[in-house]
Amino acid sequence: MTEREIIGIFGTMNAGKSSLMNLITQQESSIVDAAPGTTADTRVTLMELHGIGPVKLMDTAGYDESELLGEKKRKKVTAALKECDLVLLVIDPASPNLPTGKLLLEQSLAEEKQILVIYNLFAPEDEAKIAELEALLPALRQFPKMTVSAILPEMRSRLLAFLLDYYIPKNNPTELLPFVQPNEFYILNIPMDEETPPGRYLRPQAMAEEYITRHWAYPVSFRMNLGKARRNDPDEKARWESFLGSLKRRPKVIITDSQAMDIMKSWTPDDIQLTTFSIMMINYMSRGKLADFATAVRVLDNLQHGDSIVIAEACNHSRIKEDIGTVQIPNLLAQRFPGVTVQHIFGREWPDEEELKRTKLVIHCGGCMITPQRMAARLRDLGKLNVPITNYGIFLSYVQGKKVLEQVLMPWKV
């Protein structure tokens, strides 16, 4: 999946948001009509912007729509605002709707977004109204701004130059596996089961393999038969030892599927480090915040009867039998912390503020199917309410004991 800058276009109804989207994309990706509320939902276009790179552009509904449908659209606009890196606030100076503009500015600032103001002129004389508008809403003066007539194609190059001048891209600077050095061997332990999709590795597995290879090191995969290993089948242990023994050079780190931690804690030789794909992924998706996830798991030390835990899984893969998020982790919680309640969140779902306030701990998967920006929005939501968040790999290591948790964090120096 390509890392994209996310640019959201926001404003009131009929401010010219869809025209601006079409101007940038050079196509009718958004329906433009004078009827209020033409953009029924957030419209997304993926494209490459010269000088910025791959971007996801979002054209959102008017934030000032009324009634029930308007409320639903507003929630989607808020979700888009939380996710994006850059807010393009589109204002028609001739009919500005100040309270809505003020609200959008406040929300963008609260979410720590970069903001650029675009005054969209439907008639040249509207430019004269900008000073009056800024006198009524002085906060607008602090952001870079430009005027356009978004329906004129010749405005496109000026608009793109403006974006290039003022936008500071936020592409993920975090290394996936910062400890990898050239010529080292790494083992990827990949137990395949009924949930494993045919024809491809899961995204974290594929990313690890590609990263190690790209950095001139050597990824070697082992398919563990988890059922046999858990039944203490001597053939499976012998197969593992024969595999390890066949490598002329000792591997530096074993990266395992987190669900195999109950086996790998004792099968990993002392001279080889151990971590999990889930830990790798959450560090990458959260832009290096692994230490926070590791600290948060300590909440489990003091869990009480009646406490509520959210298990958040960022995709909707088919769940069969011993699924980690819906079966294995809930079973471990029930055994270790009787009386604790568990709520599941899948895909792009996310609890509202009231639900989060009741949550003692969030246990999140690696999050490979959402954007780092969406992950950042989740962390901000939780941070505001002081709700700790940990991760599948950290949790599954924690339940194997303090030493095992320290072991899987060691490659990350956390």
Amino acid identity for residue 106 in this structure: E
Beta bridge partners of 362: 310, 389
For residue 289 the two structure tokens come to 């915040």
DSSP 49: E
For residue 361 the two structure tokens come to 């701990």
Token pair 């977004």: residue? 113
SS3 219: strand
Decide: is 139 part of the binding site for ligand SF4 (CB under 6 A). Answer: no
Decide: is 369 part of the binding site for ligand SF4 (CB under 6 A). Answer: yes
Decide: is 192 part of the binding site for ligand SF4 (CB under 6 A). Answer: no
Decide: is 330 part of the binding site for ligand SF4 (CB under 6 A). Answer: no
At its nearest, how many Å lie between ligand SF4 and the CB of residue 385? Answer: 23
Cα–Cα nearest to 342, from 352, 333, 350, 351: 333
Q: What's the CA angle centered on 107, arms 103 and 108, to 5 degrees?
A: 115
Decide: is 393 part of the binding site for ligand SF4 (CB under 6 A). Answer: no
Decide: is 368 part of the binding site for ligand SF4 (CB under 6 A). Answer: yes
Helices (H) and strands (E) in the chain, counts: 16, 14
At its nearest, how many Å lie between ligand SF4 and the CB of residue 365? Answer: 3
SS3 355: helix
Task: Quickly count: other Cβ atoms within 10 Å of residue 142's Cβ.
Answer: 11
At its nearest, how many Å lie between ligand SF4 and the CB of residue 172? Answer: 16
At its nearest, how many Å lie between ligand SF4 and the CB of residue 24? Answer: 30
CA 5 to chain centre: 12
Decide: is 137 part of the binding site for ligand SF4 (CB under 6 A). Answer: no
Do 155 and 23 contact (CB within 8 A), yes or no? yes
Decide: is 315 part of the binding site for ligand SF4 (CB under 6 A). Answer: yes
Which of the stretches 100-108, 196-204, 216-224, 296-304 binds ligand SF4 when contact is defined by CB under 6 A? 196-204
Strands ordered across the beta sheet of 273-276:
218-222, 185-189, 253-256, 273-276
Which of the stretches 25-33, 108-116, 187-195, 360-368 binds ligand SF4 when contact is defined by CB under 6 A? 360-368
Q: Which of 93, 219, 351, 367 binds ligand SF4 (CB under 6 A)?
A: 367
Decide: is 207 part of the binding site for ligand SF4 (CB under 6 A). Answer: no
Give whichever of 170 and 203 is closer to ligand SF4, judged by the CB atom.
203
At its nearest, how many Å lie between ligand SF4 and the CB of residue 200? Answer: 11
At its nearest, how many Å lie between ligand SF4 and the CB of residue 344? Answer: 12
CA distances from 286 to 31, 234, 275, 293, 390 (A): 35, 40, 17, 10, 11
Per CB under 6 A, which of residues 9..28 are in contact with ligand SF4? none
Give whichever of 281 and 404 is closer to ligand SF4, judged by the CB atom.
281
Decide: is 366 part of the binding site for ligand SF4 (CB under 6 A). Answer: yes
At its nearest, how many Å lie between ligand SF4 and the CB of residue 335? Answer: 22
Decide: is 356 part of the binding site for ligand SF4 (CB under 6 A). Answer: no
- What is the spatial distance between Cα 215 and Cα 211, in angstroms, rounded to a whole number? 6
By rule CB under 6 A, what count of residues binds ligand SF4?
13
- What is the spatial distance between Cα 321 and Cα 165, in angstroms, rounded to a whole number? 53
Instruction: List the x/- string, 266-295, binding to ligand SF4 by CB under 6 A.
Output: ---------------x--------------
Give whichever of 79 and 315 is closer to ligand SF4, judged by the CB atom.
315
For residue 130 the two structure tokens come to 């900008």
**Chain positions contacting ligand SF4, by CB under 6 A:** 202-204, 281, 313-315, 317, 365-369
